[in-house]
């Protein structure tokens, strides 16, 4: 009985995902120039932000460790993917960004980016065995900075790049960097990567692994005393989280014409910043993957519309001034979320398709309880 229920859930989710996937491809493939110039590139950005937020949630929300260097893993992934694709191109494996050969290289670079980042994840996980809280935050922050500098100073990454042309400049012409047309053409790769990564993360947290790392977050001593090998699971979580961050790096390399280490640096003022990813996780709810997905999209849209949208221009002048400092707006948004929804915008439950029929009941319950609360006040 129970197992059938689970089977149905998987089926519903699978069908819904497949429908969404095909619909997105059809709509984006047949759109006009606006679709091509702004919507599809935005979807690419959302794709890597979603995986970034969800994978950081593994460490921050499920394991309960503050890591401020998540973009460092992304940088490693981005440069690995870029260099691998360039190497294959130089070797004459593919010429055009089409065909089976290129597709193989693309998939290889995505996986390799993840694996290389995961190896670094092991290294970062090891200090996490001894340090906690602020101290770990400082170490990971340092890691983010160091990685950027290391990449900058590797000759073939930063400056000369594989003998001719560098990863920083040659991506668009020869490597992964997609033009707007190619972004439409390969949108399925991005969407499929997101779907796969999210599914894998869900499977991870809903298994003994998820239980073990949540138990470490809730009470490390009790977890150890229940036979959980705390050190192993901590390093494993950092590794898995870094793997997915590395994968996003590959997507980043695809959606940008050139790579520059400054875009992964801590001082980066845009949305792609380790601290901003932390904000996404907190806003979405720590320990809730669907929350991270929604927060990543919402914050991306907020960021995007503040920069390009018309609604800011329609605001009164003094408010417009505030929006010239987007970081200020995000901080205010973060404070509002923490004060009013301390568990994140999603509250304390995962979004699940199967729960939609129950929503009506939940809403009625909610209003009934509010009404009851008011009555009580009146009686007093």
Residues that bind other proteins (CB under 8 A): 3, 200, 203-204, 207-209, 211-212, 214-215, 217-219, 221-230, 287
Nearer of residues 33 and 225 to other proteins, judged by Cβ: 225
Task: Please tell me the distance from the alpha carbon of residue 292 to that of residue 32, in angstroms, as a whole number.
Answer: 30
Dihedral of the alpha carbons of 116, 110, 136, 282, in degrees to the nearest 10: -170
Q: What residues have CB less than 8 Å from 65, skipping those under 6 apart?
A: 59, 128, 132, 136, 234
Tokens of 237: 């979580």
Helix residue ranges, H only, the chain: 2-29, 33-34, 40-57, 70-90, 99-125, 133-153, 155-158, 167-174, 180-185, 187-205, 208-218, 220-225, 230-255, 274-284, 289-308, 317-323, 326-340, 359-379
Nearer of residues 215 and 290 to other proteins, judged by Cβ: 215
Give min distance, CB of 126 to other proteins, in A: 16
Nearer of residues 229 and 262 to other proteins, judged by Cβ: 229
Give min distance, CB of 361 to other proteins, in A: 17
Nearer of residues 11 and 26 to other proteins, judged by Cβ: 11
Contact 263, 79 (CB under 8 A): no
Give min distance, CB of 349 to other proteins, in A: 12
Give min distance, CB of 200 to other proteins, in A: 5
Give min distance, CB of 17 to other proteins, in A: 15
Give min distance, CB of 104 to other proteins, in A: 22
Give Cα 55 to chain centroid, integer Å. 6
Give min distance, CB of 15 to other proteins, in A: 17
Q: What residues have CB less than 8 Å from 235, skipping those under 6 apart?
A: 122, 125, 126, 128, 129
Nearer of residues 159 and 207 to other proteins, judged by Cβ: 207
Give min distance, CB of 213 to other proteins, in A: 10
Contact 172, 166 (CB under 8 A): no
Nearer of residues 229 and 270 to other proteins, judged by Cβ: 229
Long-range contacts of 360-365 (CB under 8 A, 24+ apart): none
Nearer of residues 177 and 284 to other proteins, judged by Cβ: 284
Give me the count of residues in the chain. Answer: 380
Task: Please tell me the distance from the alpha carbon of residue 167 to that of residue 161, in angstroms, as a whole number.
Answer: 6
Nearer of residues 3 and 34 to other proteins, judged by Cβ: 3
């Amino acid at each position: 009985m129970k197992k059938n229920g689970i089977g149905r859930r998987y089926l519903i989710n699978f069908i819904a995902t497949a429908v969404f996937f095909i619909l997105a491809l059809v709509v984006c493939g047949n759109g006009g120039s606006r679709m091509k110039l702004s919507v599809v590139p935005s979807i690419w950005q959302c794709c890597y932000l979603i995986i970034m937020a969800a994978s950081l949630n593994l460490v921050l929300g499920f394991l309960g460790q503050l890591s401020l260097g998540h973009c460092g893993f992304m940088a490693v992934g981005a440069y690995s993917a870029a260099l691998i694709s360039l190497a294959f191109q130089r070797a004459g494996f593919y010429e055009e960004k089409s065909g089976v050969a290129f597709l193989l290289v693309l998939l290889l670079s995505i996986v390799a980016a993840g694996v290389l980042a995961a190896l670094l994840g092991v290294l970062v996980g090891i200090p996490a065995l001894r340090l906690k809280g602020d101290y770990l935050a400082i170490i990971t922050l340092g890691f983010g900075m160091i990685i950027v500098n290391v990449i900058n100073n590797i000759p073939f990454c930063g400056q000369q790049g594989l003998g001719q042309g560098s990863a920083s400049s040659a991506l668009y012409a020869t490597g992964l960097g997609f033009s707007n047309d190619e972004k439409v053409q390969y949108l399925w790769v991005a969407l499929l990567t997101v779907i796969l990564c999210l599914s894998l993360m869900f499977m991870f947290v809903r298994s003994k692994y998820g239980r073990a790392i949540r138990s470490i977050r809730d009470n490390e001593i009790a977890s150890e005393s229940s036979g959980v090998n705390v050190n192993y699971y901590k390093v494993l979580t950092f590794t898995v989280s870094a793997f997915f961050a590395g994968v996003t790096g590959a997507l980043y390399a695809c959606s940008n014409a050139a790579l520059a280490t400054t875009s992964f640096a801590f001082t980066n003022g845009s949305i792609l910043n380790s601290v901003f990813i932390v904000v996404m996780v907190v806003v979405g709810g720590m320990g809730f993957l669907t929350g991270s997905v929604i927060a990543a999209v919402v914050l991306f849209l907020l960021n995007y519309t503040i920069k390009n949208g018309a609604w800011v221009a329609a605001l009164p002048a003094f408010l417009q001034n505030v929006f010239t400092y987007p970081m200020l707006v995000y901080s205010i948004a973060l404070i509002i979320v923490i004060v009013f929804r301390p568990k994140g915008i999603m509250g304390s439950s995962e979004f699940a398709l199967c729960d939609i029929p129950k929503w009506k009941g939940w809403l009625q319950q909610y209003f009934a309880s509010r009404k009851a609360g008011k009555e009580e006040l009146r009686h007093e």
